[in-house]
Amino acid sequence: MSHRIIIFLSIFFSAIVYAENKNTNNKDLFFNEGLYYAYQEQYFDAISKIDAELGQYYGLDEPELNSLHFYLNHAEFSIGDFELYYRMHNRAGRAIKSVLEGNVDDEIRNGAVYRLAKIYHQKQQPINALHTIESSKGKIPDKIKYDFELLKAQIYISNGRFQDAIKILSKIENVSAVDGYASYNLAIAYIGNNEIEKGILQLDTAGQISSSDKYVLGLRDKANLVLGYKLMENKQPYRAKKYFDRIRINGPFSNKALLGSGWASVADEVPKKAIVPWTILSKRNVTDQSVQEVLLGLPFAYGKLEAHGRAAILYGNALETYSKELERLDSSIKSIREGKFLEAVVREESRQDKNWLINLRNLPDTPETHYLMTMLASNDFQESLKNYFDLDDLQKKVSSWDGYLDSYTEVIAQRQNYYTPIFPAMQEKFRLLDSRMKLRLEQRNKISERLNKMLIAPRPDYLAKVNERIVLNNLYAIEKKYTTGKKPLPQSVQARINRLKGAIQWNIETEYQERFTQADKNLRLLNTHVDKLDENYRSFVRTRQAATQSFMGYADQINQLKNRIRFADEKIKLLLARQGHMLELMSIKELSNRRKRIEELQIKARFSIAESYDRALKKQQNIELEKDKAKALLIQEAAEAEDIYQRALKKQKLEQEKIQNNKEKLKAEEVQDKEEKNEGDK
Amino acid sequence: MNKIRTVITALLLVSLPLSCWSAGLSREQIKGLDEQVQDIKKDVLAISAELQLLEEKLLYPSTSQVSLFVSMSKEEGYSPDAVQITLDGKKVAYHIYSFKEVDALRRGGVQRIFTGNIQSGNHQLDVSVIGKKGGSKTSRKITYTINKGVGPKLIEISLGSGSSAIKILDQ
Number of inter-chain CB pairs under 8 A, A vs B: 174
- Contacts of residue A97, Cβ cutoff 8 Å, sequence gap at least 6: A116
Chain-chain contact of B61 with A48 (C-beta, under 8 angstroms): no
Pair A609, A316: CB distance under 8 Å: yes
| ipTM higher than the 0.90 cut | no
Backbone angles phi, psi at B156, to 5 degrees: -105, 125
pLDDT digits (tens, 9 = 90+) for A648-677: 888 888 877 877 787 787 777 778 777 777
Locate the chain A residue with the closest alpha carbon to B112. A33
In this predicted structure, the answer to whether residue A8 has a pLDDT above a threshold of 70 is: no
Locate the chain A residue with the closest alpha carbon to B55. A408
How many Cα atoms within 13 Å fall on the side-chain side of residue A278? 24
| Residue spans of alpha helices (H) in A234-271 | 237-246, 254-267
Residues 138-167 of chain B with CB under 8 A from chain A are: 150, 154, 156
H or E stretch covering A507:
helix A491-510
Q: Are strands B65-72 and B153-159 parallel, antiparallel or unpaired?
A: parallel
Q: What is the pLDDT of residue A348?
A: 63
Chain-chain contact of A49 with B52 (C-beta, under 8 angstroms): yes
Q: Chain B partners of A47 at a C-beta cutoff of 8 Å? A: 45
Nearest-Cα distance to chain A for B168, in Å, is 13
pLDDT digits (tens, 9 = 90+) for A82-128: 887 888 877 655 556 655 665 667 887 788 788 888 888 877 788 88
Task: Tell me the pLDDT band of A11, cut-offs 50, 70 and 90.
Answer: very low
Q: What is the pLDDT of residue A674?
A: 79
CB proximity B32 to A under 8 Å:
no
Q: What is the pLDDT of residue A664?
A: 80
Task: Tell me the pLDDT band of A358, cut-offs 50, 70 and 90.
Answer: low
Task: Tell me the pLDDT band of A5, cut-offs 50, 70 and 90.
Answer: very low
Q: Chain A partners of B47 at a C-beta cutoff of 8 Å? A: 398, 401, 561, 564-565, 568
Amino acid type, A595: R
Q: Chain B partners of A397 at a C-beta cutoff of 8 Å? A: 44, 48
Nearest-Cα distance to chain A for B149, in Å, is 10
- Contacts of residue A541, Cβ cutoff 8 Å, sequence gap at least 6: none
Q: Chain A partners of B34 at a C-beta cutoff of 8 Å? A: 383-384, 387
Pair A408, A555: CB distance under 8 Å: no
pLDDT digits (tens, 9 = 90+) for A248-306: 988 889 999 999 999 999 998 888 999 999 999 999 888 888 999 999 899 999 988 88
Q: What is the pLDDT of residue A328?
A: 87
Chain-chain contact of A33 with B49 (C-beta, under 8 angstroms): no
Chain-chain contact of A86 with B27 (C-beta, under 8 angstroms): no
Distance CA B79, CA B133 (A): 6
Mean pLDDT, residues A555-561? 90
Question: Which of A408, A556, A574 would you mutate first to test chain B, the one with the most B CBs within 10 A?
Answer: A574
- Contacts of residue A319, Cβ cutoff 8 Å, sequence gap at least 6: A602, A605, A606, A609
Distance CA A679, CA A258 (A): 111
Nearest-Cα distance to chain B for A49, in Å, is 7
Q: Which of B38, B50, B104 sits opposite A91 (nearest CB)?
A: B38
3-state DSSP of A345-409: HCCHHHHHCCCHHHHHHHCCCCCCHHHHHHHHHCHHHHHHHHHHHHHHHHHHHHHHHHHHHHHHH
List chain B residues with pLDDT less than 70: 1-25, 75-76, 161-164
Q: What is the pLDDT of residue A98?
A: 58
Distance CA A154, CA A618 (A): 58
Nearest-Cα distance to chain B for A307, in Å, is 44
Nearest-Cα distance to chain A for B68, in Å, is 10
Task: Tell me the pLDDT band of A379, cut-offs 50, 70 and 90.
Answer: confident
Locate the chain A residue with the closest alpha carbon to B15. A578
Chain-chain contact of A87 with B69 (C-beta, under 8 angstroms): no
Distance CA A397, CA A385 (A): 19
Q: Chain B partners of A382 at a C-beta cutoff of 8 Å? A: none
| Cα-based torsion angle of the residue sequence A7, A11, A12, A16 in order, rounded to the nearest 10 degrees | 150
Chain-chain contact of B110 with A577 (C-beta, under 8 angstroms): no
In this predicted structure, the answer to whether residue A20 has a pLDDT above a threshold of 70 is: no
Q: What is the pLDDT of residue A367?
A: 57
pLDDT digits (tens, 9 = 90+) for A314-326: 988 999 999 999 9
Distance CA A451, CA A462 (A): 9
3-state secondary structure of A488: coil
Residue A459 is classified by DSSP as: -
- Contacts of residue A57, Cβ cutoff 8 Å, sequence gap at least 6: A63, A66, A68, A69, A72
Locate the chain B residue with the closest alpha carbon to A66. B171
CA A279, A285, A286, A287 torsion: positive or negative? negative
Chain-chain contact of A387 with B49 (C-beta, under 8 angstroms): no
CB proximity B169 to A under 8 Å:
no
Backbone angles phi, psi at A40, to 5 degrees: -100, 15
Locate the chain A residue with the closest alpha carbon to B43. A568
CB proximity B6 to A under 8 Å:
yes
Q: Which of B6, B25, B47 sits opposite A586 (nearest CB)?
A: B25
pLDDT digits (tens, 9 = 90+) for A32-73: 999 999 999 999 999 999 999 998 898 888 888 888 888 887
CB proximity B53 to A under 8 Å:
yes
Task: Tell me the pLDDT band of A155, cut-offs 50, 70 and 90.
Answer: very high
Share above pLDDT 70 across residues of chain A, in percent, rounded to a whole number: 90
Between residues A400 and A614, which one has the greater pLDDT?
A: A400
Average pLDDT of chain A is 83
Chain-chain contact of B49 with A51 (C-beta, under 8 angstroms): yes
Q: Which of B36, B61, B101 sits opposite A575 (nearest CB)?
A: B36
Distance CA B23, CA A139 (A): 49
Distance CA A156, CA A147 (A): 14
Distance CA A340, CA B160 (A): 49
Q: Which of A29, A47, A88 sits opposite B38 (nearest CB)?
A: A88
Q: What is the pLDDT of residue B98?
A: 94
Chain-chain contact of A390 with B63 (C-beta, under 8 angstroms): no
Q: What is the pLDDT of residue A365?
A: 55
Greatest mean pLDDT range, A481-485, A522-526, B17-21: A522-526
Q: Chain A partners of B110 at a C-beta cutoff of 8 Å? A: 27, 29, 32-33, 35-36
- The fold of B65-170 is Immunoglobulin-like (2.60.40)
Task: Tell me the pLDDT band of A368, cut-offs 50, 70 and 90.
Answer: low
Question: Which of A24, A27, A31, A36 would you mutate first to test chain B, the one with the most B CBs within 10 A?
Answer: A36
Q: Chain B partners of A398 at a C-beta cutoff of 8 Å? A: 44, 47
